[in-house]
Structure 1
Amino acid sequence: MPADSTPEPGIPGESGRHGPRRRAKGHRRKPRAKGRRGLLIAAWTAAGIVVLGGSGVGYVYLKLNGNLKSVDIDQALGADRPGKADNGSENILVLGSDTRAGGNEKLGGGTDDGSARSDTAMIVHVHEGRKKASVVSVPRDTLIDRPACTDADGGTHDAASGVMFNSAYSTGGAACAVKTVESLTGMRMDHYLEVDFAGFQRLVDELGGVEVTTTQDIEDPESHLDLEAGTHQLTGEQALGLVRTRHGVGDGSDLGRIQLQQAFVKALVEQVKEIGLFTSPRKLYDLADTATNAVTTDSSLGSVDALTSFASGLKGISASKMNMVTMPVRYDPADPNRVLLDEAKAQRVWDALKNDRPIPRSATEGSATGEARGVITS
């Protein structure tokens, strides 16, 4: 949020807005000590930030509550869905959208008419007890059979065969994306979270940047990214470039980008608890305001109270307790820019999650990887 001299109503202990925020410069830093526990932030969502304030966000409840956007997934999809798990686990579909509407037009991606695509998709399975999570990234370039669906506005969309996974979102929004994932996995998505690129960039800047260590130089003019090998405190713009690049690392595919995204999410998780939120009401407010403006949820999470309660249950999940994999796929022999689902291996992934068990290593061994693993170290 821009700085000015006008006090912000309802922010105790502050005489006014803070001065210009010091932005991260991407310079090298000594790595911080390992082993600190973080709050789960799955993929692009800002939901976990809200819980850090606990009851402290109550004084601005109405402001933050008004920021949130929600979609009634249950009403759109009706009863023709997989049943809820009865083993204490939960599944959350997390999407990052690349619309050019609003503040995203300068960031590229999306479509010229302002409509959106799902640029990033992660299925977050929170295991019983909420002490660990399994995260499955779904490559946007996977060719799938998209089911017929009804969007949140009541519009109907026909089924389609052999289309890219991210066409579900661009066709029918959040509801069709959830329907497609449930059809693909046979698992019910208990919650839905989405954050756009502009919101993600602002959130990283509000956090003061995120520290990562790269094992090789990464240069991608299309993503405005130029990093030498080493440790960096990334600005929001640099972080966005990192998680969007597909030409600067690996084989240039979406699979390589997914590996960077997974490594970055773990770095972000470790960052959150290190910034002294409880000592600064101003910082807490800024983070909560940015987070609630950036995120779109399903209707059951569409209030600060609900989002806070949900996120509070994830506090025990540290980066070391997150197993992040990519949905098993193989390169499409007819088009190197597309991948095909490895159905047998993928089924082992879904079966493990349905039964709330860890994903077996054999389920993902031998799948296409994008050759970018280890470019970012924790």
Structure 2
Amino acid sequence: MDDLKLLRDLGAELEHQPPATLARQRNRLLTERPRRRRIGWLATALAAAATAIAVAVPTVVLSGHETVPSPAGARPPKVTGTMNILLVGTDSLAGTPRFRKGARSDTILLVHLPADRKQITTVSIPRDSMVQIPRCGSEPARRDMINSAFDKGGLTCTVKTIETLTDVRIDHMMEFDFAAFKEVVDALGGVEVMIRKPIDDPKAKLKLPAGKVLLDGEKALGYMRLRNHGDGSDIQRIKRQMTLLLAMLRKGQSLLDEPGRLRDFLATATKSVKTDPAFDLETMTALAMTMDQPAGFVSTTVPWKPDPRDPNRVVWKQPEAGELFKRFR
């Protein structure tokens, strides 16, 4: 069976996922056929983001960004030539009081690059997935939402959890802090985004007209954290975050001819980026070169269904989820 066709058939694309209030839509979710499309805007944005990051971050690395250790102990085997990168977006001030004690991962994305780099696949992992989290340091193993792994053990524990669940080796990991985006956007001189419908959200302190809008750091942060707009789903929120990220990367490219501003921007960006120590200059430069002209992109989400114990949570649907991750090994 063609690998691309199998990937298409396994997961529903992010654009077509339902709102987060699963209880209200339980019956429809269980009967709805996944809709999919080979190249969605989100997949393209992620691929562009990965390429731009691979070009820009080496400078950040040299200026002393923070690194985090890779998981210790037994891990899935490394597959020669392929590369799996876990991207985690965090927000220590998001939403509810439980986030204020310690940040939880707000967005979890697994990017798979095959050996020939001809097909880039991105997999979104719902943060409300109820999973078995392995022991991390002094924290015992437990069943919990997957984003709690970050709260208890940071990026290292998140990687360990994903590897345990998927049996896929994570070669590199990168963490972005949403709170620092305010300073990054201001360092860029603001970014432009296209807004389809007017936004008026008192909770987010955000009021924007429809159309192309220039966002400063404060408005960009509000846009990234916006939760009560559109259908209110996490999927829609992720789309907004990716739109903003892509706009930032495009604006960042315009600084390549302005070394002074570029240095200031990268110095600010170091506050929001953490990687594993092995994601160094040589690795990132090589990655940028191999991703120059990929043949295509596939964006999907882990196959899931409502959790029988709590319809406001999800569990991964088997054997579909297992079949998806087989292609990453």
TM-score by length of 2: 0.74
| 2:44 is the counterpart of 1:50 | no
Structure 2: how far apart are the matches of 1:185 and 1:262?
24
**Residue in structure 2 matched with residue 331 of structure 1 by the alignment:** 306
Instruction: Call closer, same or farther: CA 1:256–1:264 in 2, change over 3 Å.
Output: same
Identical aligned residues as a percent: 36
Give the deviation of 1:160 after TM superposition.
0.5
Given candidates 5, 19, 41, the residue that maps to 2:49 is 41
Rg larger for = 1
**Residue in structure 2 matched with residue 375 of structure 1 by the alignment:** none
SS at match of 1:261: helix
Given candidates 92, 96, 99, the residue that maps to 1:99 is 92
| 2:292 is the counterpart of 1:316 | yes
**Residue in structure 2 matched with residue 30 of structure 1 by the alignment:** none
Structure 1: how far apart are the matches of 2:106 and 2:218?
16
| 2:69 is the counterpart of 1:89 | no
Residue 300 of structure 1 aligns with an amino acid whose one-letter code is: A
Structure 2: how far apart are the matches of 1:124 and 1:308?
14
CA deviation profile, 1:207-260 (whole Å, cap 9, x unmatched): 33333222223343333333332222333333333333222121x232332233
Residue 201 of structure 1 aligns with an amino acid whose one-letter code is: K
CA deviation profile, 1:264-309 (whole Å, cap 9, x unmatched): 4444455443x1x2321111101221222321111112x5x34653
Residue 141 of structure 1 aligns with an amino acid whose one-letter code is: D
Given candidates 147, 167, 184, the residue that maps to 2:148 is 167
SS at match of 1:233: strand
Give the deviation of 1:68 after TM superposition.
1.1
Given candidates 59, 64, 68, the residue that maps to 2:65 is 68
Give the deviation of 1:129 after TM superposition.
3.7
**Residue in structure 2 matched with residue 118 of structure 1 by the alignment:** 105
Structure 2: how far apart are the matches of 1:285 and 1:181?
34
**Residue in structure 1 matched with residue 220 of structure 2 by the alignment:** 239
Residue 141 of structure 2 aligns with an amino acid whose one-letter code is: A
**Residue in structure 1 matched with residue 129 of structure 2 by the alignment:** 142
Given candidates 292, 300, 325, the residue that maps to 2:270 is 292
**Residue in structure 2 matched with residue 18 of structure 1 by the alignment:** none
Provide the aligned length of Structure 1 versus Structure 2.
286
**Residue in structure 2 matched with residue 17 of structure 1 by the alignment:** none
Structure 2: how far apart are the matches of 1:82 and 1:184?
11
Q: How does 1:223-372 map to 2 (within 5 A)?
A: 223-250=204-231, 252-273=232-253, 275=254, 277-301=255-279, 305-306=281-282, 308-309=284-285, 312-313=288-289, 316=292, 321-332=296-307, 335-354=310-329
Residue 256 of structure 1 aligns with an amino acid whose one-letter code is: Q
Any stretches of 5+ residues in structure 2 without a counterpart? 1-43
SS at match of 2:181: helix
Give the deviation of 1:130 after TM superposition.
3.7
More displaced, 224-233 or 287-296?
Answer: 224-233
TM-score by length of 1: 0.65
| 2:165 is the counterpart of 1:158 | no
CA deviation profile, 1:155-187 (whole Å, cap 9, x unmatched): 3321112x1111111111122100111122221
**Residue in structure 2 matched with residue 152 of structure 1 by the alignment:** none
Give the deviation of 1:70 after TM superposition.
0.8
Give the deviation of 1:125 after TM superposition.
1.4
Give the deviation of 1:39 after TM superposition.
7.8
Give the deviation of 1:65 after TM superposition.
3.6
Residue 138 of structure 2 aligns with an amino acid whose one-letter code is: T
Contact 1:38 1:317 in 2 (8 A): no
Contact 1:125 1:135 in 2 (8 A): yes
Structure 2: how far apart are the matches of 1:294 and 1:339?
29
CA deviation profile, 1:92-148 (whole Å, cap 9, x unmatched): 111112235xxx9xx9876444x2211111111123344552211212111111122
Superposed CA RMSD: 3.3
Contact 2:47 2:297 in 1 (8 A): no
Structure 2: how far apart are the matches of 1:68 and 1:109?
29
SS at match of 1:124: strand
Structure 1: how far apart are the matches of 2:315 and 2:46?
34
Structure 2: how far apart are the matches of 1:331 and 1:146?
19
Residue 120 of structure 2 aligns with an amino acid whose one-letter code is: A
Instruction: Call closer, same or farther: CA 1:261–1:321 in 2, change over 3 Å.
Output: farther
Contact 2:119 2:297 in 1 (8 A): yes
